[in-house]
Amino acid sequence: MGKFKIYLISSFLLGMILCSCGEEDLSNESVFNESTTQQTDFDRWLLSNYTYPYNIAFKYKMQDIESSKSHQLVPASPDKCIAIAKLLKYVWIEAYDEVQGIHFIRSYSPKVIHLIGSGGYDSSNSTLLGTAESGMKITLYDVNGLNPDDVSTEQLQRYMKTIFHEFSHILHQNKNYPPEFDEISHSDYVGDDWSESTETLEIAKSKGFVSRYARKETNEDFVEMIAIFVVYGQDNWDSLLESSGPEGAEKINQKFEIIKQYLNNLWSLDIYELQRVFENRLASINSLDLKNL
């Protein structure tokens, strides 16, 4: 009896639906909002300079799905995004193209570059400047801090240090470095306490680290060394070693030797050549038009 009632009710509902459909024509208008944003000249430039040659989606309109939910964030201004996109291509991507050939960035670049206008501010004492997610995405923060009319070497080095830092994460996520690197400073990593006021740069260098942040953990130590060596140049590197004291300099040199061999053996990449090419490009940024596409 129970099944009979169910079949009877189902038949009644089906009849009502068919009757309704017969009496009223369906609308051709979709109930879903499929509005799309019209492409700008900048969008087309990004397709030609990032997406088509390198398979990189360059996202400059801040999207919730791409953004950190644990930080207070501000979107990037379009004029700053144009300047950053041109600078990244010239100083970072094309530097690797010159040293390794275009296949290198094509093969190992992040599939998404996402720009955020502000730094990643949270309740701690640190400000997030960049992240790399499993080799798939690099998010670059504080884009609104760039002045396209007057890009200083110091300002550009800060952005480029972040991008070389994050890209180096992608390299070791694809091919890990030797475990011997971990052992050199194993007892001196401090985790999130690296940002405490008592953990000064002088202490970090004396223990064999090139920055305070390098003391967080071994992966950060590894990529900080690559980024600082390439972006800030040989003179700065020599001064850093001299100010680290004998014990600190010895540990830095031990770790750098592992990095040099790692890049050469696993990636056929000469870090000295990369440093030279980057330095030449950094010196010629005034020739770039950062406003017009």
Task: Return the HEC string of the chain.
Answer: CHHHHHHHHHHHHHHHHHHHHHHCCCCCCCCCCCCCCCCCHHHHHHHHHHHHHHCCEEECCCCHHHCCCCCECCCCCHHHHHHHHHHHHHHHHHHHHHHHCHHHHHHHCCCEEEECCCCEECCCCCEECEEEECCCEEEECCHHHCCCCCCCHHHHHHHHHHHHHHHHHHHHHHCCCCCHHHHHCHHHCCHHHHHCCCCCHHHHHHCCCCCCHHHCCHHHHHHHHHHHHHHHHHHHHHHHHHHCHHHHHHHHHHHHHHHHHHHHHHHCCCHHHHHHHHHHHHHCHHHCCCCCC
Q: Where are the domains of the chain?
A: 39-173, 175-287
Q: Say what the pLDDT of residue 2 is.
A: 46
Q: Say what the pLDDT of residue 73 is.
A: 73
Topology match between the domains 39-173 and 175-287: yes
Report the CATH fold assignment for 175-287: Collagenase (Catalytic Domain) (3.40.390)
Q: Say what the pLDDT of residue 27 is.
A: 47
Domain 39-173 belongs to what architecture?
Answer: 3-Layer(aba) Sandwich (3.40)
Q: Say what the pLDDT of residue 5 is.
A: 41
Give the pLDDT of the chain (293 residues) as one tens digit per residue. 444 443 434 444 444 444 444 444 544 444 334 445 688 999 999 999 999 999 999 999 876 544 445 556 778 899 999 999 999 999 999 999 999 999 999 999 889 999 998 776 555 555 666 776 666 888 888 889 888 888 888 888 988 998 899 899 989 999 999 999 999 999 999 999 999 999 999 999 999 999 999 999 999 999 999 999 999 999 999 999 999 999 999 999 999 999 999 999 999 999 999 999 999 999 999 889 998 88
Q: Say what the pLDDT of residue 120 is.
A: 62
Q: Say what the pLDDT of residue 10 is.
A: 44
